[in-house]
Homo-oligomer: A and B are copies of this chain.
Amino acid sequence: MLGPVALRRPGRLAPLPSSAARLDPASFLGAWQELNATATIQHCVDNIERTGVIDNLRRLTPGGPDVPFRGPWFADSDLYKTLEAIGWEIGRSGTGQWSHLLSEVADLLEQVQEADGYLNTYVQGTPGEEPFAQPERTHELYCAGHLMQAAVALHRGSGDERFLTVARRAADMIVKDFGGDGRPVIDGHAEVETALVELCRETGEPAYLEAARLQIERRGQRTLPPGRFDSIYYQDHLPVREATEALGHAVRQLYLAAGVTDVYLESGDETLLDAQRQLWDSAFRTKMFVTGGHGSRHRDESYGDPYELPPDRAYAETCASIAALQWCWRMLLATGEARYAEEMERTLLNAIAASTSHTGTAFFYSNPLQLRTGHEGSTEDAPSERLSWYKCACCPPNIARLLASVHSYAATADGTGLQLHLLTAGTFTGPALSATVQTGYPWDGDLVVTATGSGELAVRVPAWADGATVTVTGGELLAGPTPGEYLRVSCSDGATVHLSLPMTPRLVRADERADAVRGCVSVHRGPLVYCVEQADLPAGILVEQLRLAPSATVIDEVPDDGVTPVRLRLTGVARRPDTDLYAPYDPARATEDTPVSFTAIPYHSWANRGPGAMRVWLPLA
C-alpha cells in the first residue's frame, strides 16, 4: 500500500488509507487476512526468534548474548518485514499482541544504530566487513529499505515514532553519503527505492524522493562488479529507461520496477513510465506463468527468455509474485488501467495464495505448476510440500506483510468517486463515495455493491468475464460492463449495483511459443486456476496419464467439501504410458486410452493433503 501521492495527473488513482478499507472476514481475502493475523505473523515472529535474527541485534548491545551472527547477511530484512506486517495489522485490528516485541526491538535498534545512522547487524557484527564495501553482495540498502517500510507501516498503524526515527536516521545517512555529491552507491538488490519514496510520502521530506531518484538513475551503469553474478542479474546492465526486457533475478527486477514507477508517481517523469510500460509487457506478456508466477529459472532465481515457461521448473518465487503485485499496484495508480489490477488479482489468488498452507504456517518459496510422479523433493529448492521455514526466509514474512495490508489494494478513491479493483466482500470508504460489497467471489460471480454518498463508482470487470451483466438501482450506468474494463456508474446515496460475472469453467491455452505447454490447456473458473492432484485420481492412474478430450467443454462443479467451495469434475482419458523414451514417429499410432473422470481443485489449494504429483496444464488427447 502507498501513502498519499503528491502529484496528481489525469487517470491517476488515489490509494485509500488503511482504515478506509475493510474486508469481510468471511470473504476469501478476508479469511486469509484473519489467518495471517492469527497464525502467519506469530509464526514469523517465532521463527525469527528461533533462527537468531533478533539475537543478531542483541549480541551487538552491551551485555548482549555472546553468540555468533546467524542466518544470511540479509537476515535483518526478515525482521523488518515481520515488523511491517505487525504495523499494518495494528492499523487494521488495533491488536496489542506484539507490543512487548515492538518495544524490545525498538530498544535494540536504537542501541545498535550507529551515530551516523548506519544499522546492519551483519556488517556491524562481522569482523572484516565494512559498510557499503561490497554493495553488490551485502544487501545493506535493501535491509535499510525494509526498515523504512516497517517504520512507515508502524507509524501509519499505531502512530509509533520510535521506528520512524530510526528509519529516518538511516535514510538521512543515505541522503548525506549517497546524495548528489556523495558516493554513487547502489545495492545489488533493489528495494530501497520504493521504501525511500514511501518514507517521503510519510514524512513529507523530499530528500528521500531525491535519494530514490538517484538510486534508479545510477542503476544500469554496470557499477556493481560482476562476481558470481553478472550485471543482468542485478539489472545493472542498462539504464532503467533502456532496460525494457524483464531480465535477471526476478524479485530484484520487479522491486526495481516498482521503485521506478514510484519515482514516476512522485516526479511525473513520463520517460520513466514509458519504459515501465514496455518492461511490464515483457514481464507480463511474454514471461509470466498462468498462475501469475514470475521467474522461469531456478538458476539465479531469474527470468528466462520470452516464452520460456516450464511448468515443472517454474521458479515462480513467492516474493516475485508479491513484488509483481506491488509493481502492478503502482502502475494501476499511475494509469488507472484495468490490466494492472487484473494481474494483481491473478497473482494474488493463484501464485501467492498457493504459497501458504491452509494452516497459515507452511510456505512454498518456489511455486511450480507441475510436480511429477517420482519427484525428488528433499531439497528446499523444489520441495514436494510447503516447509515451515527456509534458510533463506524471505518469503514467509513477505506474505505476512502483504496479507496484513491486502485490504488496502482492493480499492482507490478520491473526491469524485470510488474504484473497486480487487473484487471482494468488504467496505470501502472514499471521501465522496463509499461502498459495501457483498459477494462470495471468487467462488461466486454475483457482486452487490451498495453506495453511500454520491459519485462515480468504478468496478473492474475481469477480462475473462464475457457475458457479464449489470443491474443498477438508484444510479446511472455510464459504461460497461465490458470485460477488461471498468464498469462505471454514477451513484446516488443508497444506489445498488448488481454485477453478475459468468463463472462457467473455462479452458485456456498458451501462446504456441510457450513450448513447454504445447498441446495442453489449463482449467480456470473465474479468476482461479485449477490443477489436478494425484490424491484426486482413481487408484492405478497417474497424473501423467491424463488427457482431456479436445472438445472438452462440459465441466461439472463439485459441491463444497468443507475445504474447497468449488471443485471441478473433468472428463477425459487415462493413456497407457509409453515404453520407449524415444521411438519412431508413426502418425497412425494407436494409443490405449481408458475413459476417466477426475476432480480438479484450485491451484492455490494443492499440496495440502500430503506430497503427490500435480499439474496445472493438462494435455489434450
Q: In the complex the two chains form, is A584's CB within 8 Å of B508's CB?
A: yes
* Contact among B299, B375, B575 with A298 in the assembled complex (CB-CB below 8 Å): B299
**CB–CB B313/A509 < 8 A:** no
Number of identical monomers bound together in the oligomeric complex: 2
**A274-299 at interface with B (beta carbon < 8 Å):** 284-286, 288, 290, 297-299
Tell me whether A584 and B519 are in contact (CB under 8 A). no
A97 lies within 8 A of chain B by Cβ: no
Known A313-B308, A551-B587; judge A577-B298 contact (CB<8 A): no
Report whether A585 and B511 are in contact in the complex, using a CB–CB cutoff of 8 Å: no
Please determine whether B378 and A585 come into contact, CB atoms closer than 8 angstroms.
no
**In the complex, A415 Cα to B522 Cα: how many Å?**
62
B313–A310 contact, CB under 8 A?
Answer: yes
A583 with B375, Cβ < 8 A, contacts A312-B305, A520-B518 known: no
Number of interface residues of A (CB under 8 A): 63
Chain A contact residues, majority secondary structure: loop
Closest to A310 in B: B310
A519 touches B519 (CB 8 A): yes
Provide the residues of chain B in CB contact with A508, threshold 8 Å: 582-585
Closest residue of B by beta carbon distance from A521: B585
Q: How far is the CB of A611 from chain B (nearest CB, A)?
A: 13
> A313-B308, A313-B310 are known contacts. Are A515 and B297 too (CB-CB below 8 A)?
no
The answer to whether B577 touches A513, judged by C-beta atoms less than 8 angstroms apart, is yes
What's the nearest-Cβ distance from chain B to residue A293, in Å?
13
Taken together as a complex, chains A and B put the C-alpha atoms of A620 and B298 apart, in Å, by 29
Interface residues of A in 478-517 (CB under 8 A from B): 506-517
A307: chain B residues at CB < 8 Å are 372, 544, 581
Q: How far is the CA of A304 from the CA of B577 in the complex (A)?
A: 19
Contact A290:B582 (CB < 8 A) given known A298-B299, A516-B310:
yes
Known: A306-B374, A307-B372, A307-B581. 17 other contacts (CB 8 A): A230-B379, A232-B376, A232-B379, A284-B581, A285-B580, A290-B582, A299-B299, A304-B312, A304-B313, A370-B515, A464-B584, A508-B582, A510-B581, A511-B581, A512-B575, A512-B619, A516-B516
Q: Which residues of A contact B (CB under 8 A)?
A: 230, 232, 245, 247, 284-286, 288, 290, 297-299, 304-308, 310-313, 370, 372, 374-376, 378-379, 381, 464, 506-522, 544, 550-551, 575, 577-585, 587, 617, 619
Across the A-B interface, the 8 shortest Cβ-Cβ residue pairs: A507-B585, A298-B299, A511-B578, A519-B519, A509-B585, A305-B372, A521-B585, A518-B519
8 cross-chain CB contacts under 8 A: A230-B378, A230-B379, A305-B376, A312-B515, A511-B580, A512-B577, A513-B577, A516-B516
